[in-house]
Structure 1
Amino acid sequence: MMLGSWVRLTLDTTLLGLEAQSVISLRLAQIAMGQGTPAEAQLMVTEKMLAFMDAAMTVAAGGSAHQVVQNYRRQVQANARRLRLA
């Protein structure tokens, strides 16, 4: 049972890394095409601070590393959807 949770955490962490790279690529492509905005640049900074605070609150409330990774994945996936539509 314990091994299963570690495998799931490993898989979700790997997927998070791949999804984050996708968002980075989308943002860099926008910047390269001259479509990057100051608002997007500000968002890149503030979302990381907010994500860290969310993670800290999750852990402080007794949450697991897997919950933190799942929350990060939701945020990264939302960014990817938004950037693809832009």
Structure 2
Amino acid sequence: MHGIGAIRYLKEAGIKIPDQVKVMSLTGHSIGGMLETAMTSVELPSQEIGELITRNIVHDIESPKNIKKKPVHHELGVTLIERETT
């Protein structure tokens, strides 16, 4: 939603998108495609993110309390949806 506000502000300031400034959203909301100037976005795999978070929480709950936990790193694919703001 921050990208939508940025686009509105830039247009009100007379700044041309994407000629002078490029705007991109990281949320992947489909609403970006419905704007007057359709916003480029990165689509995140929300389902996978939710599943990983849930598994990590369950693992933490079931682990003995005295075990030191290491950071967990996951790489997930994202999709670039190119529209008019880049």
Q: What's the TM-score, normalizing by structure 2?
A: 0.30
Q: What's the TM-score, normalizing by structure 1?
A: 0.30
Q: Would you tell me which structure has more strand in proportion to its own residues?
A: 2
